[in-house]
Amino acid sequence: MNIELTEEHQKVVDEVREFATSVVAPAAYEYDTQRRLPMEIIAQMGKLGLFGLPFPVEYGGSGRDYLSLCLAVEQLARVDQSIAVTLEAGVGLGAMPVYRFGTDAQREEFLPMLARGEALAGFGLTEAEAGSDAGATLTNAHVEDGQWVIHGSKQFITNSGTPITRLVTITAVTGESTRADGSIKKELSTILVPTPIDGFTVEPAYDKVGWHTSDTHPLRLENVRVPEANLLGERGRGYANFLTILDEGRVAFAALCAGAAQGCVDEAVAYAKKRNVFGRSIGSNQYIAFKIARMEARAMSARMAYYAAASKLQAGKPFKKEASIAKLIGSEAAMDNARDAAQIWGGYGFLNENTVARHYRDSKILEIGEGTSEVQLMIIARELGFPA
């Protein structure tokens, strides 16, 4: 693995870092307080080509690669995790399923507007009783007069209720079969649901501890009807398809974690150098300097872990274990660094206007979203040959 970034990759880092510093950071506290997704900033991200980074030019993309997306997500996460996850989920969970498993017609219909950032898409997997255990999915769909008729509900769906949400991919039970032992096996498929559409209800947004700017809603589907051609991928392959999407998504999610961890380092370094107590900067205290050094080590470890996973992904090699390791290391680094940065900032680190305080609130979900830490440990152990 070459850990040196190419000139093109460094260009992505520099451009997105400048955008994050000059546009996102100054407005972050305002829209965090208002608990709204700033569509004006999302529009600027679209014009910069961020939503199309890993997609071919023929579909409105930038023709870059998956690492480019990860680098952009990392730079945004340094200053605002909500904006970073809007990009990460918009591409990884929203547009990527269409790109990976869609027909030519489905790609031509949806990918250009998603890649240009003119529209957003969500991935409707999680339910009240089905998250890590996707086999417990209750949302169901059957074919009637050439249409899929969908009934069910979904929870914690990112980018599902924005003014430009135009698509939600739904996992649903489309049939059942009986195993040799008499137990029932559910046939899980994925179906494209354009929005708005009759019977599709976006429930009020959640009152979350953090990620206040990120758009997250429960969804209700009652007699939603879409063309039979809206089946995404093969019927009955929904479970396998969403595992592929989650594996890829975890690499970009790990980049978000690394960005959050690094953002805490940046804030701690700046404050430790300017804050004077008893006639000298607090950074001259070895205890503070060592604490920040450990924070930097965590951030670099998180970055190297997602670089390794992205390298394997792009080389077409198995990367499931590496993705889970990157997500596990990154989320723990972000959470630990947020706690340490808040301690270094003292009382100021407890004020919501402070980037450190927002990282402290936001980082906990990194150990939960897109597969909990416990799920990552299970995957890593299984990849090492231990029982599932």
Query: Which tokens belong to 158?
Result: 């990112």
Q: Using H for helix, E for strand and C for coil, what is the string for the chain?
A: CCCCCCHHHHHHHHHHHHHHHHHHHHHHHHHHHHCCCCHHHHHHHHHCCHHHCCCCHHHCCCCCCHHHHHHHHHHHHCCCHHHHHHHHHHHHHHHHHHHHHCCHHHHHHHHHHHHCCCCEEEEECCCCCCCCCHHHCCCEEEEECCEEEEEEEEEEEECCCCCCEEEEEEEEEEEEEECCCCCEEEEEEEEEEECCCCCEEECCCCCCCCCCCCCEEEEEEEEEEEEHHHEECCCCCHHHHHHHHHHHHHHHHHHHHHHHHHHHHHHHHHHHHHCEECCEEHHHCHHHHHHHHHHHHHHHHHHHHHHHHHHHHHCCCCCHHHHHHHHHHHHHHHHHHHHHHHHHHHHHHHCCCCHHHHHHHHHHHHHCCCCCHHHHHHHHHHHCCCCC
Residue of 74, 88, 332, 370 marked catalytic: 370
How many Cα atoms sit within 13 Å of 131 on the Cβ side? 12
Query: Which tokens belong to 60?
Result: 């409105």
- For residue 276, list its beta bridge partners: 281
At residue 165, what are phi and psi to the nearest 5 degrees? -70, 125
Whether 127 sits among the annotated catalytic residues: the reply is: no
Catalytic residues: 370
